[in-house]
Amino acid sequence: MRERQLAVTELRPKLDLREDLSLLGEGVPSGESARGLAVWANGPYWNISPWIRPTAIAISVLTALTLILWFMGYSAIPFVAVLIIRQVFLYRLRKPAHRVIGEVDGPGNNLSLLSDLLKRLERERYESAMLVKLRAALDVAGSPPSHEIARLNRLVELLDSRRNIIFAPFAEILLWSLQCAISIERWRQNTGPAVGRWLAAVGEFETLNSFACYAYEHPHDPFPEVTISEGHFEAEAMGHPLIPERRNVRTDLRLTKELRVMIVSGSNMSGKSTLLRTVGVNTVLALAGAPVRAKGLRLSPLQVGASIRIQDSLQAGASRFYAEITRLRQIVELTNGERPVLFLLDEILHGTNSHDRQIGAERVVGGLLARGAIGLITTHDLALARIADELDTRAANVHFEDHLEDGQMRFDYLLRPGVVQRSNALELMRSVGLEV
């Protein structure tokens, strides 16, 4: 996290680099295309015997020479003999050569754009440890990746030239396709293992530059402080990065070894789910080495386990309740990892009756705390507020309030201690015209 913060700090003022990468990256394939290039580069190799290339050259020379002699009036027998040898030679190599030619078609697209992108990254000078390490990871035996990609691009272009109607007869005589296939395969065997590393490094550069852009545009958002205390999250004036500042109500929040869970109650639309998203997004940003939307944030390395906006699935035949308990099981399994879990459970066990819900929630939350986790749960069911009583000082109730003003619901989105004392469900139903 600290290394990434230093890298983002170094990249923050580099506007020219970000603009260049943005322009160059528009045409670079991503997703499946990038994965296809990496898979191709590390695919099964063709074991090229040392005699194949010299034999191919010799046959090409003999084909051209005997053809010229035939045109000059000499016997056609030498030319026919060479053609027979040529066909036998090509027949033995047809499968591996065709495989190389067929497989390079997809990955070979847009290599010049990737070469330009890598060249721009190579040209920049870096000082922070992470950026220096990423830059060093690009080179192969001292050769910059842009050179290697440009060389592969040139080989692919030479292979494609066989389709030129003017050059096609000469390509046939010179065994052009086979010669190019051998060169491409040797490039893959020598340089291919580094392609996955190049793409990973480019992706890491892109990530850090995105964070640097965010840091540049939000200079008041600080980097979080990393603490070695296990299961620690302490935020001052924390807000959601996607809410405009004029509407962003900031929240203070503290979860430690002593106070491990908060039960957040409140009416509809009062801010409970937004609080969970705010905590989750800022935690992910912090763990990724990015600035956070807060006046200050101090946290330990954590794993985020969230159960928010769980939906049923007609295709999978799973109800909302089944989908939620499956997610809860995944969150519990996260606690077997090395880092403590920060759990964010929105409307926990909402799809069952109140009796089972209360017992299930108490057991799930208690189990998570016993495994060293910290977190937040939200609920409309005020019976779940009793969880805090069962967990004693390790849990606390907090809530959001609302009030009716001029026939409309008003929310201040301020987090307060204790359990909410009123509900707005009936008022909301009446406000949309339901007779209740």
pLDDT at residue 29 above 60?
A: no
pLDDT at residue 247 above 80?
A: yes
Q: Which of 110-114, 293-297, 391-395 has the highest mean pLDDT?
A: 293-297
pLDDT at residue 30 above 60?
A: no
pLDDT at 333: 93
Q: Which of 150-164, 250-264, 389-403 has the highest mean pLDDT?
A: 250-264
* β-pair partners for 398: 264, 417
Tell me the H-state helices in 50-194: 52-71, 77-104, 111-123, 129-138, 145-160, 168-173, 176-191
pLDDT digits (tens, 9 = 90+) for 54-88: 898 998 899 889 988 888 888 889 888 988 998 89
Rounded Cα–Cα distance for residues 365 and 261 (Å): 8
pLDDT at 213: 95
Q: Determine the average pLDDT of the residues in 158-167.
A: 88
- Return the closest-CA partner of residue 149 out of 56, 29, 48: 29
More confident residue, 425 or 270: 270
pLDDT digits (tens, 9 = 90+) for 308-354: 887 766 776 677 788 888 888 999 999 998 899 999 998 888 767 77
Q: Helix 77-104 and helix 145-160: axis angle, to 10°?
A: 130
pLDDT at 191: 85
pLDDT digits (tens, 9 = 90+) for 37-57: 777 888 888 888 888 888 989
Give the domain 225-431 fold: Rossmann fold (3.40.50)
Q: Which residues are CB-neighbours of 400 under 8 A, at least 6 positions away?
A: 264, 265, 266, 267, 270, 271, 272, 275, 411, 413, 414, 415, 416, 420
Cα angle 331, 334, 335 (rounded to 5 degrees) comes to: 105
Q: Helix 320-334 and helix 354-370: axis angle, to 10°?
A: 10
DSSP state of 313: B
Block residue for tokens 């034999």: 55
| Contact (CB, 8 A) for 253 and 279 | yes
Distance from chain centroid for Cα 62? 54
In the chain, helix, strand, coil percent, each to 5?
55, 15, 30
Average pLDDT, the chain: 86
pLDDT digits (tens, 9 = 90+) for 84-125: 998 898 888 888 888 888 888 776 666 777 778 888 888 888
Give the pLDDT band of residue 392 (cuts 50, 70, 90).
confident
Block residue for tokens 């109500």: 249
* β-pair partners for 45: none
Residues of the chain with pLDDT > 70: what percent? 91
Pairing of strands 296-299, 233-238: antiparallel
pLDDT digits (tens, 9 = 90+) for 366-377: 899 999 999 999
pLDDT at residue 395 above 70?
A: yes
Rounded to 5 degrees, what are φ and ψ at 252?
-95, 140
More confident residue, 140 or 237: 237
> Residue 5: which H helix or E strand, with range?
helix 2-11
Query: Within 10 Å of residue 209's Cβ, how many Cβ atoms?
Result: 21
* β-pair partners for 408: 405
More confident residue, 92 or 235: 235
pLDDT at 110: 61
Q: Which residues are CB-neighbours of 62 under 8 A, at least 6 positions away?
A: 82
More confident residue, 426 or 230: 230
| pTM score | 0.79
pLDDT at 32: 54
Question: What stretch(es) of the chain map to CATH 3.40.50.300?
Answer: 225-431
